[in-house]
Amino acid sequence: MGRLVEVLAVEVAELDPDLSLVGANVDAPSVGRRLAAGALEIEGWALCSDGPPDAVEAVCDGRTVARGGRRRREDLAAGFAAVPDAAAAGFELAVDARSLPAEAELELQARDGERSISFARLRLRRFWRDSLDSAGPPLVSILLVSEGTDRELARTLVSIGAQRHAATEVVLLLAAATTEERSISGWKENGVRVIASGLSGPALRNEGIRRSNGKLLLFVEGGRALTPDALPLGSEMLARDIDASALVDGDETRVAAAIYRRSAFEELEGFAEAASADCDLELARRAGRCGALFAPGSLCAAGS
C-alpha cells in the first residue's frame, strides 16, 4: 500500500538473571529496512527457563498492538538442550504500523504466566511511498473539475498559469452535461488535457487520476483561483511532513481545494462513487484519519 515504515533501530536488552527469560533475539527486520506499514513482520525467538513463553507481544505506549505466533527453530534445541521444547521458541508478529504514531517505539515482551518481560525495542518512522525529497520539484497533476461557465473556468486556468512551479500537468474534467456546450480545442492547444468521458462526480474524478502522471494530485473546481504559491507551498509542506497524506484548503465542513499524495489517494481507494454530492469533503474527512493537514486559505485566493 502507500505507507511504508523504516526501521531506525533494533535494540535487544541484556537479560536480568533474576527473571525467567534465558535468551531472546530479534532476527528480522534489520536496521534500515523499509517495509509496508500495514504488515510489519517481526521474527525472532524468546525462551524461558521452563520452555517457550506463553506469548510474545508488541507493545506501543502501553498498548498491545500485536501478539506473535510460534514458529519452529530447530537450532535452539541444540543451543538450549536442557530447556524443554526449546525448538518451539521462535515467534513471528505482524504489526499494522499505520495505527501507530509517525515515529514510534515498539517494545517486545515475553509473557511468562502473569509476568511480562521486556527483551527488545524497535524504533520506527512511517512515511508515504512517493517520497518528495528527490532532486527537483515533483510533478503535480492539477485536476480541474468544471461544471460552471467558461468565464469561471478561465479564472482558474489563469491562476494555474501564474504558478511558481514548473512541473505541472493540467487535466480538465468536463461533466457530461456540459461537454456539448464547450469548444475545447483552444484548451488543448495550450497543453490542457481534456477528459469528457460521459462520467460525472466521483467517477469523473477517479477517471482523471487514472489518466494523470503526477506524484501530487491537486483537485480544484472551476471558478476558484489558486494563489501564486499554492503548488510550491503544498509541495514544501508535504515534503516536510513525510507522514501527511494531503494538504487540504478547508476544514471538516468545507473544502476549497486539496493536494493529495498519489500513494495516499491509492490507499484511500479514491473518491467514493456512492458518496453524496460533496465527494471532495468526504474524501478529505477520510484523509484526515491518516494524517491530512487542514490549512484554510493555503491554496485558494480569498473570496474564490
Half-sphere exposure of 175 (CA within 13 A, CB side): 13
Domains of the chain: 3-128 (2.60.40), 140-294 (3.90.550.10)
Tens-place pLDDT, residues 203-221: 889 999 999 999 999 999 8
For residue 264, pLDDT over 80 is answered with: yes
H helices of the chain, where? 74-79, 150-161, 176-179, 185-189, 201-210, 230-240, 262-267, 279-288
Give the model confidence (pLDDT) of 151-171 as tens digits: 788 889 889 988 888 788 999
- Indicate the pLDDT class of residue 292, thresholds 50, 70 and 90: very high
Confidence band, pLDDT 50/70/90 cuts, at residue 179: very low
Task: Give the list of residues 6+ apart from residue 236 with CB closer than 8 angstroms, or none.
Answer: none
* pLDDT greater than 70 at residue 276: no
The pLDDT tens digits for 16-73 are 877 889 999 999 999 999 999 999 999 999 999 999 999 999 999 999 999 988 899 9
Statement: residue 177 has pLDDT above 60: no
pLDDT at residue number 1: 63
> Grid coordinates representing 243?
507522514
